[in-house]
Structure 1
Amino acid sequence: MENLERDEPLTPAGRLFVSPVMSQIINCVIAVENPIDIEAVRAEISNSIMVKHPRFCSLLVKDSCGREHWRRTVVDVDSHLIIRHNTLSDDPLVSDEVAVNEYLADLSVSSPLGTDKPLWEIHLLMAYNSAVFRVHHALGDGISLMSLLLTCCRRADDPATRPTIGGIGAGSSPMLKQRWNFWTLLKVVWYTLVYVLEFIMRGLWLKDRSTALSGGAGVELWPRMLATAKFQLDDMKTVKRAVADATINDVLFGVVSCGLSRYLDIRSTKALREGLRFTGVAMVNLRPQPGLQDVSELMSSDSETRWGNKFGMLLFPVHYHRGGSNPLEFVKRAKTMIDKKKLSLEGPCSYKIGDFVMSFFGAKVASILNYRIVCNTTFTISNVIGPREEITIVKNPVKYIRVNSTSLPHAITLHMVSYAGRADMQILVAKDIIPDPEVLAKCFEDALIEMKVAAEVASRS
């Protein structure tokens, strides 16, 4: 009884992420320039805010009724460090990035975190100067975890200063900033009704048409491959300026739509209908302040920008279009769609619906409905804004930061993180459905390049 009084129940979102069918682990890989100093890493972790954070020093336990709780414990840092000195591939021609991606792809399938210790661990890949930070999604969302990670980092140009983490991000769910009137209010009500109704229907029966990109029930257990699409933020900004009032997220969804269309042109064995829809699932930050957060603010019980999983689910339709059209049209169509989404309350409503189902029907029903939403759509996408400047961790310059997660019933999962003027998108695929993720990555990269060229031509005309 004494332990139970100290135990803290999981939030509804936390209970969803520990359920068997929706269990999710976030894998964040950080590559550094120089060899990793194991003792320095151990000391940094031991002195970091992470081991003082309630979620990172608690065990996941169940009471006699089967309900999950957090129970505080003493963190043994060594038990969370997994050190691999050997190479990951016997082929000397395999590059470091490909070898690390193969390792992450293996971790994404059936590699749970043990409940005998807090639900996180760090893999040090010594031969590749890389560290893989594995955190269970029940501990927090991408905004929370990236904000926490950056407390262990310093700016490369000013080692005494932490990276910029305030007010730099996208992915929040504020309404479009505009003059409110009766017509605007009417559109808010209409779009909210339409999108919430579709959200409910997706959890029940509405399903995307089958294509060469489609997954389905059980696909989360299939072997995975992982490739990286690399973008320059300056290129995305060039495209953004070519479309009035566009955002980086508009450009991202335009690139995804164009890239997937290109890939379907390559892979499909039969002609596809122009405008064929396939749906992506995206998470939207519901905190009042967009972007990365101050960790002390997140951990404050009085804060509105609290720690945890504070996001809603959005359904983003993209459409197939044959090659030959102006690539900027993909961005314009994406902007039109996203503007409508921003004007709706789909994100907050999906959060409330999930909270209601979890509270009144339990984790099993909620996880089944979420699983069905994933099965009835085509891909998952997320976009987390990382530090704007180059950073170091334990005084070691960081080359890149990349993120992916445990596999889902989707055949494609896309996770993009920006860092110091670049943006890397991890493309996790079921290899029996999409055997050539490098081709898909090239389709995305080529799409942005063509959009940039079209934008530069448009600016000169």
Structure 2
Amino acid sequence: MAASVPDEPLTPSGRLFLRPELDTIIHCIIRGKDPINVDAVKSTIASSLMLQHPRFCSLLVRDRNGREYWRRTQVDLDQHLIVINHRIGTADYSGANAEEAAVNQYVADLTVSTPLSTDKPLWEAHLLMAHRCAVFRIHHALGDGISLMSIVMGCCRRIDDPEALPTMITKRDLGPGGGKWWDRIRQVLMMLCFGFVFALEFILRALWVRDRKTVISGGAGVELWPRKLATAKLLIQDMKVVKKAVDNATINDVLFAVVSSGISRYLDHRSPNALQEGLRITGEAMVNIRKQRQLEDLSDLIKNNSSSRWGNKFGVILLPIYYHKRNDDPLQYLKRAKKMVDLKKHSLEAHFSYKTGDLVMSWLGPKYASLLNYRIVCNTTFTISNVVGPQEEITLAGNPIDYIRVNTSSLPHALTMHMMSYAGRADIQVLVAKDIIPDPEFLATCFENALIEMKEAALATVKK
């Protein structure tokens, strides 16, 4: 098979994620309710869409000029399944918390200086037998979070229908919408105006503008620092209650409000009375820019003309949040977040960042594109993303799944957050440089308490 299929050049974004400055691996943590059956997992992966997709069956090779290609090969699953039989100890925790802390610490250790071998396709699965967890490690060069989560979910089945694939459906909301002609003209003018402003901000961030230094700031070289990982556990129903308190708010608006409030709480704890009210703290938010985000037919992902577009098709928006001391109305965080996100939607900033990165890659090559991205990360404070997971409970190799969580390998940011929803829950993986943020568990609690306060305020508003 390998000899009959010609080598395929990497996409520009694939080459970008292989640069040493941005060598990025996505981690997907799946915990089962029952003990792991290694043979069942191996059989499930072998018969899944994962091994039908060319990216998961190809080696990364370079020609004499250093140009990267995908070369088809036979996959030996035994090389990709890494079975860990011993229990991972955490002396500082006990009971259920020890189980979660053990898995989090294992993954945190993987996020720093643990590359994938190029002697095999760039993915592997670690089976933590004593903790009933499978950790899928997939290189970002193979695809973005939407693509890779979809292919992993192709290994799973619904509990209520063992023959059915998980349902992953989200709505689309980018760019000017419908309405009367003068409304459309107004929206286009707003798009051009805010698009220019945000494009200029991107350029300035890449040159010299940076956030004021706080106790959660990272910087150049921090991607090599040891990590800790904690989990903030939220309920989708609570987020829906909160979003109803503000007209036309979305789950993403609530997420950004929770992050804004939680970081403000944490800064008050670490550096009370040291920060100016309204201090801007800028993050990078990853935004899927596909025209279609409904991925019910996962087999469509392996077709070359897929409308869902396999690969890395996401943009970045600069997400400003502002430090505020706690006040009597927690919903103010949501109102500010919604106002800011609405401006970002009108500007098509995510599309601009995607096209700009593509042009820089095409004209100047991956070296300068990675330098551009690296400088923007160093000049901001955090990374955040949100991946919509299955709405119903599912199984992997017949094992009911307790939770699904995602994160990536470390960045120059000292704080990265990745939310993944599953069956009514939304878990945020809080990955930190532990020498800068030594207590990520407390930061995760700040996020949880922020949502609870917003929910209580939203319910009180309804009663009035």
Tell me the TM-score range normalised by the shorter chain.
over 0.9
Query: Residue 116 of structure 1 aligns with which residue?
Result: 119
Q: Offset of 1:160 from its aligned partner? A: 2.2
The C-alpha deviation readout for 1:141-173, integer Å capped at 9, x for no partner, is 1111111111111111221222112xx225x56
Query: Residue 22 of structure 1 aligns with which residue?
Result: 22
User: Following the alignment from structure 2 to structure 1, what is the Cα–Cα distance between the partners of residues 450 and 272?
Assistant: 22
Q: Offset of 1:369 from its aligned partner? A: 0.6
RMSD value, Cα: 1.6
3-state SS in 1 of match to 2:274: coil
Structure 1 residues 293 and 12: CA distance shift in structure 2, 3 A: farther
The amino acid that maps onto 1:161 is A
Query: Residue 58 of structure 2 aligns with which residue?
Result: 58
Structure 1 residues 294 and 161: CA distance shift in structure 2, 3 A: closer
- Correspondence 1:142 to 2:128: no
3-state SS in 1 of match to 2:160: coil
Query: Residue 157 of structure 2 aligns with which residue?
Result: 154
The C-alpha deviation readout for 1:119-142, integer Å capped at 9, x for no partner, is 000000000000000000000111
Structure 1: segments with no counterpart, 5+ residues = none
Structure 1 residues 293 and 141: CA distance shift in structure 2, 3 A: farther
Query: Residue 236 of structure 1 aligns with which residue?
Result: 239
Structure 1 residues 455 and 270: CA distance shift in structure 2, 3 A: closer
Give the alignment of 1:12-411 within 5 angstroms.
Answer: 12-89=12-89, 91=91, 93=94, 95-165=98-168, 168-169=169-170, 174-175=174-175, 177-179=177-179, 180-268=183-271, 270-292=273-295, 294-411=297-414
Q: Offset of 1:103 from its aligned partner? A: 0.2
User: Following the alignment from structure 1 to structure 2, what is the Cα–Cα distance between the partners of residues 412 and 173?
Assistant: 27
User: Following the alignment from structure 1 to structure 2, what is the Cα–Cα distance between the partners of residues 395 and 369?
Assistant: 45
The amino acid that maps onto 1:359 is S
Q: Is the 8 A contact 2:217 2:414 kept in 1?
A: yes
Q: Offset of 1:402 from its aligned partner? A: 0.4
Q: Offset of 1:303 from its aligned partner? A: 2.6
Q: Offset of 1:49 from its aligned partner? A: 1.4
Q: State the identity %.
A: 60
Structure 1 residues 291 and 204: CA distance shift in structure 2, 3 A: farther
Q: Offset of 1:243 from its aligned partner? A: 0.7
Please say which of residues 104-113 and 143-152 is displaced more in the overlay: 143-152
Aligned pairs, how many?
457
Query: Residue 431 of structure 1 aligns with which residue?
Result: 434
Give the alignment of 1:436-451 within 5 angstroms.
Answer: 436-451=439-454
Give the alignment of 1:408-423 within 5 angstroms.
Answer: 408-423=411-426
Q: Offset of 1:302 from its aligned partner? A: 2.0
TM-score normalized by the length of structure 2: 0.96
Q: Is the 8 A contact 2:176 2:187 kept in 1?
A: no
3-state SS in 2 of match to 1:304: coil
The amino acid that maps onto 2:406 is V
3-state SS in 2 of match to 1:357: helix
Runs (4 or more) in structure 1 with deviation over 6 Å come to 2-5
The C-alpha deviation readout for 1:290-324, integer Å capped at 9, x for no partner, is 25453322222223321100111111100000112
Q: Offset of 1:270 from its aligned partner? A: 4.8
Structure 1 residues 203 and 13: CA distance shift in structure 2, 3 A: same
Q: Offset of 1:206 from its aligned partner? A: 1.1
Q: Offset of 1:107 from its aligned partner? A: 0.3
The amino acid that maps onto 1:18 is L
Query: Residue 457 of structure 1 aligns with which residue?
Result: 460
